[in-house]
Structure formats: C-alpha cells, structure tokens
C-alpha cells in the first residue's frame, strides 16, 4: 500500500514539474483571452482581453500593437488597466479603424512611485477591446501582434530596464463568425488540458484522503479597468 501511495505522489509531482517548466519557459509575453471560439451574437459584437505576463522579469514598459481587418470588424471601445503602469503616453498609443491598428503603451520610470510591473500568479489584463462586426458574411476574424524584436513605435515589446525581454512574437487568435467555418477535428489541446486537470484533481483528492494534507488558495489580483 505504501508503494502505491509513493507511486501516486511521484506521478503527481512529475506532472506538476512538467507543467511548471513549460509555463516558466515561455517567458514574458502577451496573449489573447479568450484564445479563440465562435462569436455568439453578430449584432452585439464581442469583447477580447489582451493579457500580459512578465514571467520572472521586472518590467518598466509594455507595448501591444494589434492588427485586424477593418472590413470585417470595427473597434467600438478600448480600455486599459491603469494599475499596471504609472504612465500611458498618448504619443505611443492609438486606435485606427481605417487601417485596423490598435497600439497601447504602459510605462513606469525608475523614479516613479508605482514601481516596476511584475506578474503575480497569473497574467493580468493589459487592455480590454470591444468590437462590432461590420461584415456579417465574413467567416472569421484574426487578431495579430506586430513584432520584429525591436523597441520601436508600432512594435509589440516588453521592456525590463532598457532591453526587450519579449523574445518571440505572441500568438495570434482567430474567432469564427459562423459555426459553419469551424471544421470538426480530433481531441484538441483544450480538451487535453481538461483531462489532465481532472487527473490532477483526482490524484490530489487521493493524496488528501491518504495523508491528510490541507489545501489553501492564494488570493488573486484585483483588476481595475479605466478608460
């Protein structure tokens, strides 16, 4: 019986170790939330959050530049998360529905009272974007980050002190505007993640019953969005 318990513990720690390693290896990045799906109402439009994750870095500046097809969707409203950075320079931020470009920059100086930004336990909302659908006959819409690795205007960057620590282009995202545009596929990554999560929950329940461990949760960060 003891060998069985030890085996379960080793399996649990191995899975957790692989998960932590993969997350850590990603480093600082931006991402979209949700990361895909079908738009429920073409009349009401939809909302997309842009998340920022500093990894283990202390970040002084973060800039997202996103492109989209202005013939398919139109930006209705853009909000930023004021608590992340001290300044949001107007000359480094813009929304252009004619060209299909959204740029937003947050910055905190070394002498600022807010201090450098660092992600706590999970990515923070950097911006919230609300869109209207212009072309209801379109099958999908893709949002893409502009990125060339340099800290230049209209380029996506995450800066720690003076160097860009965003080492690769963040992933784009595609949303289907009709169910017909979604092909049937085999089991996806999201389903695999759910299955692994269930396995971890079951393994954790077994460990708690066997060893009497007490599980506690850390408090999350409160997100405040301002215009």
pLDDT of 26: 65
5 domain residue, yes or no:
no
Place of tokens 């996806």: 188
Q: Report whether pLDDT(182) > 50.
A: no
User: Closest Cα to residue 55, out of 26, 28, 19?
Assistant: 28
87 domain residue, yes or no:
yes
128 domain residue, yes or no:
yes
193 domain residue, yes or no:
no
Of 10-14, 62-66, 143-147, minimum mean pLDDT range = 10-14
User: Helix H segments across the chain?
Assistant: 2-26, 189-211
pLDDT of 112: 77
192 domain residue, yes or no:
no
Degrees to nearest 5, angle at CA 188 with 185 and 194: 145
What is the CATH classification number for the domain harbouring 100?
2.60.40.680
Q: What backbone torsions phi and psi does residue 141 show, to the nearest 5 degrees? A: -140, 135
Domain range for 64: 27-181
User: For residue 154, what are its two tokens?
Assistant: 């209209």
Confidence grade of residue 197 (pLDDT, cut at 50, 70, 90): low
User: Closest Cα to residue 12, out of 145, 204, 150, 168?
Assistant: 204
Q: Per the structure, how many domains does the chain have?
A: 1
10 domain residue, yes or no:
no
Percent of the chain with pLDDT over 70: 67
pLDDT of 161: 85
14 domain residue, yes or no:
no
Confidence grade of residue 9 (pLDDT, cut at 50, 70, 90): very low
Question: What gap in Å lies between CA 206 and CA 211, rounded to an integer?
Answer: 9
Residues contacting 219, CB < 8 A, separation 6+? none
Question: What gap in Å lies between CA 103 and CA 145, rounded to an integer?
Answer: 10
Question: What gap in Å lies between CA 144 and CA 69, rounded to an integer?
Answer: 10
- In eight-state DSSP terms, residue 198 is H
109 domain residue, yes or no:
yes
């Amino acid at each position: 019986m003891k060998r069985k318990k030890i085996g379960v513990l080793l399996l649990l720690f191995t899975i957790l170790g692989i998960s932590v390693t993969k997350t850590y290896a990603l480093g600082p990045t931006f991402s979209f939330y949700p990361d895909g799906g079908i738009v429920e109402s073409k009349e009401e439009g939809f909302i997309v959050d842009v998340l920022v994750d500093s990894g283990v870095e202390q970040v002084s500046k973060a800039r997202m530049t996103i492109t989209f097809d202005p013939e398919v969707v139109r930006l209705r409203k853009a909000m930023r998360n004021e608590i992340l950075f001290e300044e949001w320079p107007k000359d480094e931020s813009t929304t252009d529905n004619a060209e299909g470009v959204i740029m937003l920059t947050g910055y905190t100086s070394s002498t600022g009272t807010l201090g450098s930004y660092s992600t706590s336990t999970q990515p923070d909302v950097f911006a919230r974007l609300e869109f209207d659908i212009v072309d209801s006959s379109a099958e999908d819409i893709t949002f893409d980050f502009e990125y060339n690795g340099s800290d230049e205007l209209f380029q996506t960057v995450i800066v720690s002190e003076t160097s860009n620590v965003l080492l690769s282009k963040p992933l784009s995202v595609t949303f289907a505007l009709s169910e017909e545009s979604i092909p049937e596929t085999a089991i996806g990554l999201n389903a695999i993640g759910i299955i692994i999560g269930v396995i971890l929950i079951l393994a954790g329940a077994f460990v708690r019953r066997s060893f009497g461990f007490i599980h506690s949760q850390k408090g999350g960060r409160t997100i405040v969005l301002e215009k």
